Amino acid sequence: MDHSVKQNENIFILGIESSCDDTSCAIIRDGVLLSNITANQSIHEQYGGVIPELASRDHQKNIVPVVDAALKNANITLSQLSSIAVTRGPGLSGSLLVGLSFAKSLSLALHIPLIEINHMQGHILAHFIEEKIDVGSYLSDEKENNFSESPSIQQQISSNKQPTFPFLCLTVSGGHTQIIKITDYLNFELLAETEDDAVGEAFDKAAKILGLPYPGGPLIDKFAKLGDATKYKFPTPKLKNYNYSFSGVKTAFLYFIQEQTKLNSNFIEENMNDICASYQAHLIRYLLKNLLAVSKETNITQIAIAGGVSANSGLRSELEILGKKHQWHTYIPKFEYCTDNAAMIAITGYYKFLKQEFCSLDITPLARYKI
């Protein structure tokens, strides 16, 4: 079937994201965001991590209201959609299945093409989201359901400063830590990655050891602002390439806390801010050390960050400082597009739509999906 768009016809992409514990739907018209609705799942806080079975059940519950709200906030109807873009992976299989099955059904019912999206590419292309949001307050009284909408209300299209090609992106999330070279909207080359855990896990695991709820990254960030980042030291692994490894530092952190609490049972309570500040500063130094090395090696000075951990205030400010020192052009996503959201899936879908990169309806989720 020919899905090319005639001149003067708008391209409406509905994006769906359900790879982990956020159910999200966004609508993009001609590359401009009209709505972005996310339902978060607070149920996992008590378990210290995402429980896959509970996550997929909550996606089942949330997906229809979230899609409905996104359409209403965008003030469009299903019949106007040009295509459905959906996260295929990487992520939790059960969670991905909910979004993917829903997207397939919608595509089939509306006779419009399906576009499959790599979640990590989505995180990176979040830098290209343009906003013209006048979404009103449709869900403002639904906060108890943990629904949230993109907060910026603007009458005109506003685009963040966008990277130019080629650029490097340090992509840091709960499941990934990568340095990617991007030469075009849909051209990604993996230059370095973690050999074991992701940096988001290193944040979340440390938070769990400190008795903080999941996800602990934002809480470590909060306490770190009040602490002394030079007080405690942690080891940095030495790998031969620019890859990362975070499992050693996680274990070192555990032993450090065990030893200190043996000496003083109130060690954590008395030193929470300094522990968080020192640990966070250590992780950031390590992330930026390899990023600097890759920038030097590739001679690329357009530098972006993306993914949940790019919401970290320490990482954001240290990147700016390093960028000034090395004459980089740095790109930091808007806060609401750092953690999982469907706007990043819809914008990636838009660029795939322009290239007519559609997929068949028999695709299955990819828990592991290389960039």
Residue placing its CB nearer to ligand KG4 in the complex, 51 or 300: 51
| Distance of closest approach, residue 271 Cβ to ligand KG4, in angstroms | 19
Binding segment for ligand KG4 among 39-47, 211-219, 266-274, 355-363 (CB under 6 A)? 211-219
Residue number with the shortest CB distance to ligand KG4? 308
Query: Interface with ligand KG4 includes 215 (CB under 6 A)?
Result: yes
- For ligand KG4, the binding residue among 15, 31, 308, 365 (CB under 6 A) is 308
Out of Zn ion, ligand KG4, none, what residue 227 binds, judged by CB under 5 to 8 A for its kind, is none
Shortest Å distance, C-beta 7 to ligand KG4: 37
φ, ψ at 178 (rounded to 5°): -140, 155
Residue 140 neighbours by CB under 8 Å, 6+ apart: none
DSSP designation for 367: S
Would you say 227 or 349 has its CB closer to Zn ion?
A: 349
Compose the 162-201 pattern: x for residues touching ligand KG4 by CB under 6 A, - for all others.
-----------xxx------------------------x-
From the list Zn ion, ligand KG4, none, pick the one residue 312 interacts with, judged by a Cβ distance below 5 to 8 Å according to partner type.
ligand KG4
Interface with ligand KG4 includes 312 (CB under 6 A)?
A: yes
CA distance 151 to 134: 10
**Could you tell which of Zn ion, ligand KG4, none binds residue 125, using a CB distance below 5 to 8 A set by kind?**
none
Residue pair 180/171 in contact by the 8 Å Cβ criterion: yes
Residue with tokens 């960030």: 221
Nearer to ligand KG4, 314 or 323 (CB): 314
| CB contact at 8 A, 66 and 23 | yes
β partners of residue 190: 180
Coil, strand or helix: which one is 84?
strand
Contact positions with ligand KG4 (CB under 6 A) in 334-353: 339-340
Choices 93-101, 168-176, 261-269, 344-352; region in contact with Zn ion by CB under 5 A: 168-176
- DSSP one-letter string for 237-284: ---SSS-B--HHHHHHHHHHHHHHHHH-TTHHHHHHHHHHHHHHHHHH
Among the residue ranges 97-105, 225-233, 244-252, 309-317, the one whose residues contact ligand KG4 (CB under 6 A):
309-317
* Segment near Zn ion (CB under 5 A); pick from 68-76, 94-102, 166-174, 226-234: 166-174
CB atoms within 10 A of CB 88: 24
Q: Does the protein bind Zn ion through residue 340 (CB under 5 A)?
A: yes
Question: How many Å separate Cα 216 from the centre of its chain?
Answer: 15
Q: Which does 323 bind (CB under 5 to 8 A by kind): ligand KG4, Zn ion, none?
A: none
The CB-of-175 to ligand KG4 minimum distance in angstroms stands at: 4
| Residue closer to ligand KG4 (CB basis): 29 or 282 | 282
Which positions from 104 through 143 interact with Zn ion, judged by CB under 5 A? none
Residue 21 touches which member of Zn ion, ligand KG4, none, C-beta under 5-8 Å by kind: none
**Is 173 near Zn ion (CB under 5 A)?**
yes
Contact 100, 108 (CB under 8 A): no
Please, which residues bridge with residue 97 across strands?
Answer: none
Calculate the dihedral angle through the C-alpha atoms of 287, 293, 294, 298, rounding to the nearest 10 degrees. Answer: 160
For residue 42, give the DSSP letter: G
Backbone angles phi, psi at 49, to 5 degrees: 175, 170
Q: In this complex, which beta carbon is closest to Zn ion, that of residue 173 or of residue 278? A: 173
Long-range Cβ contact pairs of 73-77 (< 8 A, separation 24 or more): 73/27, 73/34, 73/35, 73/37, 73/135, 73/136, 73/138, 73/139, 73/149, 74/27, 74/29, 74/34, 74/35, 74/135, 75/34, 76/12, 76/27, 76/29, 76/34
Which residues of this protein are in contact with ligand KG4, per CB under 6 A?
20, 173-175, 200, 203-204, 215-218, 221, 307-309, 311-312, 339-340
Query: Where does this chain bind Zn ion (CB under 5 A)?
Result: 173, 340
